[in-house]
């Protein structure tokens, strides 16, 4: 009791930070376990012409092409790996084939899944840009969305959707019918399995589900059966934000690499952080904004291990390679 009394004049936040700093809260503060990645290529600027962007918010790659959500231009732009413009599809609107603020992108079985922040739905396109189907509608009910930010697709076609304003992640069948959800609809939370504006989801090869718990400033992990496994980000992953290694200040995108590592866009810290599958911190890399705002909005990983990002403040795409 006397030892506890010595801390009576300190805030709980100070105590948690002190614990983290000495490495007792999951080793959030430590040396890089791997070298940072280097920025090898960039392209883009603000505008509406081909190759220009107005608030890019998502990215996905195949072995030969790069797909970018050009949010305020209401379109998807497609490039080769050298940044040469190839095609675009979508215009602002809420009709079929039109887009209302496309967000984090996912490619699965030669289909592009596009969550729409403004239209509260997911549109599915062929990689050529042909609209194939619409999943979901505005609302709080099962299978409905309120500003979906990201989607992951399982091998059997099931969907996992980060339902931003509904503070939940939904598990749906390929046709959009409801299976399950994590989180309480409309209620933010800090406990395991609760969310505060989740922004994106990703699947590991074994079916493990990784959730970017956006303003919860953390990652939450569930097994293929839907059971909670663990979480990371700041002291005990309680939602505190910060600039330290292994901490986050708003997670906006998440991706898994070919070796099972997890990459997280740490938006207000202008960096991408790389972790082992169990949450062990590996390295971080990023760039400072040249314009007002922040850079690390979205992340994708190619089969060759290259990391792709969109720079929100500077309206650019970037390719990062390990040193």
Angle (CA) 97 103 105, round 5°: 80
Is the distance from CB of 71 to CB of 103 less than 8 angstroms? yes
Distance CA 107, CA 25 (A): 36
Would you state the pLDDT for residue 5? 32
The torsion angle over the Cα atoms of residues 180, 205, 40 and 292, rounded to 10 degrees, is 10
Average pLDDT of the chain is 92
For the stretch 220-253, pLDDT in tens is: 999 998 999 999 999 999 999 999 999 999 999 9
Would you state the pLDDT for residue 31? 66
Distance CA 40, CA 80 (A): 15
Distance of CA 244 to the CA centre of its chain: 19
For the stretch 6-64, pLDDT in tens is: 223 344 445 444 444 433 333 334 468 899 999 999 999 999 999 999 999 999 999 99
Domain map (residue ranges) of the chain: 31-322
What integer is the mean pLDDT of 113-135? Answer: 98
Would you state the pLDDT for residue 323? 86
Q: The whole model's pTM is what? A: 0.91
What integer is the mean pLDDT of 146-160? Answer: 98
Tokens read off for 85: 């413009």
Is the distance from CB of 320 to CB of 306 less than 8 angstroms? yes
Would you state the pLDDT for residue 94? 97
Query: From the CB of residue 85, how many other CB atoms can be counted at a distance below 10 Å?
Result: 14
Whether the pLDDT of residue 186 is over 50: the answer is: yes
Q: End-to-end CA distance of the chain, in Å?
A: 50
Question: Of 199 and 22, which is predicted with more confidence?
Answer: 199
For the stretch 263-297, pLDDT in tens is: 999 999 999 999 999 999 999 999 999 999 999 99
Beta bridge partners of 298: 310
Number of alpha carbons in the 13 Å side-chain half-sphere of residue 311: 24
Distance CA 187, CA 170 (A): 14
Per CATH, the number for 31-322 is 2.120.10.30
Would you state the pLDDT for residue 18? 46
What integer is the mean pLDDT of 209-229? Answer: 97
Provide the edge-to-edge strand list for the sheet that holds 148-153. 148-153, 159-163, 168-172, 178-182
């Amino acid at each position: 009791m006397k030892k506890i009394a010595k801390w009576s004049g300190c805030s709980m936040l100070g105590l948690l930070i002190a614990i983290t700093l000495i490495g007792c809260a999951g080793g959030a503060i430590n040396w890089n376990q791997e070298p940072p990645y280097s920025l090898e290529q960039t392209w883009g600027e603000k505008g509406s012409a081909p190759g220009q962007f107005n608030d890019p918010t998502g990215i996905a790659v195949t072995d030969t092409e790069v797909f970018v959500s050009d949010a305020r231009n209401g379109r998807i732009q497609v490039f080769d790996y050298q940044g040469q413009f190839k095609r675009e599809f979508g215009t602002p609107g809420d009709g079929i084939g039109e887009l209302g603020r496309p967000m984090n992108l996912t490619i699965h079985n030669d289909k592009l899944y596009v969550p729409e922040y403004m239209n509260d739905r997911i549109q599915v396109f062929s990689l050529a840009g042909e609209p194939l189907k619409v999943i979901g509608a505005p609302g709080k009910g099962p299978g409905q969305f309120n500003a979906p930010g990201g989607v992951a697709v399982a091998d059997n076609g099931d969907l996992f959707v980060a339902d931003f304003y509904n503070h939940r992640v939904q598990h749906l069948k390929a046709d959009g019918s409801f299976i399950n959800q994590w989180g309480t609809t409309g209620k933010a939370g800090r406990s395991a399995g609760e969310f505060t504006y989740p922004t994106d989801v990703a699947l590991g090869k074994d079916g493990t589900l990784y959730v970017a718990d956006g303003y919860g400033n953390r990652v939450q992990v569930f097994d293929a059966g839907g059971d909670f496994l663990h979480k990371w980000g700041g002291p005990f992953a309680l939602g505190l934000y910060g600039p330290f290694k292994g901490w986050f200040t708003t997670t906006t995108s998440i991706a898994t690499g070919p070796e099972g590592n997890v990459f997280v866009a740490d938006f207000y810290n202008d960096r991408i952080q790389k972790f082992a599958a169990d949450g062990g911190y590996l390295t971080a890399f990023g760039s400072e904004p040249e314009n007002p705002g922040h850079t690390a909005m979205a992340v994708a990983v190619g089969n060759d291990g290259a990391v792709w990002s969109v720079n929100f403040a500077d309206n650019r795409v970037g390719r990062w390679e390990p040193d």
